[in-house]
């Protein structure tokens, strides 16, 4: 696995565990639509995300599924705290999926 998402002092094993937890959270959100969007994104992209991007992605997982769905599908604009590169990546990936 790549060490892209690790920080100095963080072992590669720690980053692997973090990504596995993130992947589990993404596939077990509660709504099938968000599971599909976030789970698919995490499978494809988690290895390439920096530590800061992983932090942003994890913060998104603390949001309400309905809000996330509207933000990712472009039906509403996310608040400035969640309008960042990871949200743009999610939107870009979502455009290629059928939900």
Cα separations in angstroms, 47 against 40, 54, 75:
13, 10, 28
Give domain status of residue 7, yes or no. Answer: no
How confident is the model at residue 3, as a pLDDT? 44
- What residues make up the domain containing 47? 12-94
Helix H or strand E encompassing 13: helix 12-27
Give domain status of residue 65, yes or no. Answer: yes
Give domain status of residue 31, yes or no. Answer: yes
How confident is the model at residue 13, as a pLDDT? 77
Interacting residues of 1 by C-beta distance below 8 A, sequence separation 6+? 12, 15, 16, 19, 47
CATH of the domain at 43: 1.10.150.250
Q: What's the domain count of the chain?
A: 1
Q: Are 34 and 69 in contact (CB under 8 A)?
A: yes
Q: Could you tell me the mean pLDDT of each successive run of 10 residues in the chain, 99 residues long? A: 48 83 94 94 93 95 96 95 96 65
Give domain status of residue 6, yes or no. Answer: no
Give domain status of residue 17, yes or no. Answer: yes
Give domain status of residue 3, yes or no. Answer: no
Give domain status of residue 1, yes or no. Answer: no
């Amino acid at each position: 696995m790549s060490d892209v998402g690790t920080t100095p002092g963080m072992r590669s094993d720690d980053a692997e565990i973090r990504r596995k937890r993130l992947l589990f959270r993404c596939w077990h959100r509660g709504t099938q639509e968000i599971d599909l969007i976030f789970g698919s994104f995490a499978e494809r992209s988690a290895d390439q995300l920096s530590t800061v991007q992983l932090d942003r992605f994890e913060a998104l997982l603390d949001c309400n599924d309905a809000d996330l769905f509207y933000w990712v599908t472009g039906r509403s604009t996310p608040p400035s705290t969640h309008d960042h590169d990871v949200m743009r990546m999610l939107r870009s990936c979502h455009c290629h999926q059928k939900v």
